[in-house]
Amino acid sequence: MSDPLAAPTIEKPRNQWRDVWDQFTTHKGALVGMTVLGVLLAFVLLGPFLWHEETLTTTEKIMLKNKPPSARFPMGTDQLGRDFLKRMMQGGQVSIAVGLVAMMISIFLGTTVGVLAGFFRRLDGPLMRLTDLFLSLPLLPLLLVMVMLFRDALAGVLGPEFGTFMLIVTAIGITSWMQSARVVRGEVLALKEREFVLAARSIGTPPRRVILRHVLPNVISPVMVAATLNIAEAIITESALSFLGLGFPPDFPTWGRLLYDGVSYMQQYPERVMLPGLAISLTVLSVNYIGDGLRDALDPRIRGR
């Protein structure tokens, strides 16, 4: 029936991820986004090794406060005479880490709740009511209470900085998963009735593998969108918390913190608002484009066009 000569020329089933990567690299926005994010990451991660801050005495610091950008201080100094470039680098590390980790927590929770609620009818009611409950909570006061209750306890166990970091990402993560849970549940409800899910059941695929193999790959688009938006939201929420004095300690820089500190000097030194603001916007924008490219690359119907 088959041509025996044709057999050796047939490609082995290809690794899907190579196709995905090939398609991803054709998405210009995604490549630009990758580059920008790469530069930002290099700036915050490698920057501190290349740029050594002068150690100044308190008197010198007071003398050197509020300096404009110069060769000695490429981004100027702040109101306490600290090197702004150095603070941008340190702040970026924290902000990007908070954004990514909080996004992962929130997406993990949102997808899990959404898939379980959509796939198992019995869990739908309880889980969606839980989602409604979280949605109805006033988030900022809740965050304030959480930080107040747990900050010291966690700081005692994990150290003040890492403790606060864990607390903040967890707090942001568990208060921002609801939107993605709802979107995912809606998608799963529709997918569950599709015939390929029925076909998988008729093959005898157990529910957990039906979810992993058939449901999750098909809800990736809304999850991607939610994920990229969540990063932005997490960075902003963290700065709001820092601003209210409940995030990281005041001398611990984050982009959000720098932004809020700069607000009171906006008239005289606009660069102190613009630089962290620009950094946050660029991060969010580049992540958005990467998400966009990834979403397209993961969809075989779009791939190869």
Partner 1 sequence: MGHAMADGGAPKKLVEVRGLKMYFPIHAGLLRRKVGDVKAVDDVSFDIYEGETLGLVGESGCGKSTCGRAILRLYDPTAGEIRIGGAEIAHADAETLRKMRPAMQMVFQDPQASLNPRMTVAAIIGEPLDEHTTLTKAEKNARVYELMDQVGLNRTFANRYPHAFSGGQRQRIGIARALALNPKFIVCDEPIAALDVSIQAQVVNLLEELQDRLGLTYLFISHDLSMVRHIADRVAVMYLGRIAELGPRDGLFETPLHPYTEALLSAVPEADPDAETTRQRIILKGDVPSPANPPKGCNFCTRCPKVMDICKSVKPDLIEVQPGRHVACHLYNQTTTMTAGQMAASEAKKSIQQGEKR
- Among residues 63 and 198, whose Cβ is nearest to partner 1? 198
How is 225-256 classified by DSSP, letter by letter? HHHHHHHHHHHHHHHHHHHTT-SS-TTS--HH
Distances, alpha carbon 230 to alpha carbons 57, 168, 195, 198, in Å:
41, 14, 32, 33
The one among 38, 39, 209, 250 contacting partner 1 by CB under 8 A:
209
Provide the CA 221 distance to its chain's centre, in angstroms: 16
Out of 217, 249, 250, 270, name the contact with partner 1 by CB under 8 A: 217
Span near partner 1 by CB under 8 A; candidates 74-82, 137-145, 224-232, 292-300: 292-300
Distance CA 61, CA 182 (A): 51
State yes or no: residue 203 binds partner 1 (CB under 8 A).
yes
Min dist. Cβ of residue 204 to partner 1 (A): 3
Contact status: 6 vs partner 1 (CB under 8 A): yes
For residue 8, the minimal CB distance to partner 1 (Å) is 11
Q: How far is the CB of 210 from partner 1 (least distance, A)?
A: 10
β strands within 78-232, DSSP E: none
Residue 206 touches partner 1, criterion: CB under 8 A: yes
Per-residue contact flags (x/-) with partner 1 for residues 41 to 60, judged by CB under 8 A: --------------------
Q: How far is the CB of 76 from partner 1 (least distance, A)?
A: 51
Q: How far apart are CA 127 and CA 59, in angstroms?
A: 58
C-alpha distances in Å from residue 224, one per residue of 111, 184, 197, 219, 305:
11, 11, 22, 9, 21
| Cβ at position 26, least distance to partner 1 in Å | 17
Window 175 to 194, contacts with partner 1 (CB under 8 A): 194
Residue nearer to partner 1 on the CB measure, 218 or 230: 218
Pairwise CA distance, residues 90 & 14, whole Å:
42
Q: Does residue 249 interact with partner 1 by CB under 8 A?
A: no
Spatial CB neighbours of 28, under 8 Å, sequence gap ≥ 6: none
| Nearer Cβ to partner 1 (68/300) | 300
Task: Check: CB of residue 236 under 8 Å from CB of residue 176.
Answer: no
At residue 269, φ and ψ (nearest 5 deg) are -125, 75
Q: To the nearest whole angstrom, how small is the minimum distance from the Cβ of residue 267 to partner 1?
A: 54
Q: Report if residue 199 touches partner 1, rule: CB under 8 A.
A: yes
- Do residues 115 and 216 lie in contact, with contact meaning Cβ atoms separated by under 8 Å? yes
Residues that bind partner 1 (CB under 8 A): 1-2, 6-7, 10-14, 16, 194-196, 198-206, 209, 213-214, 217-218, 298-301, 303
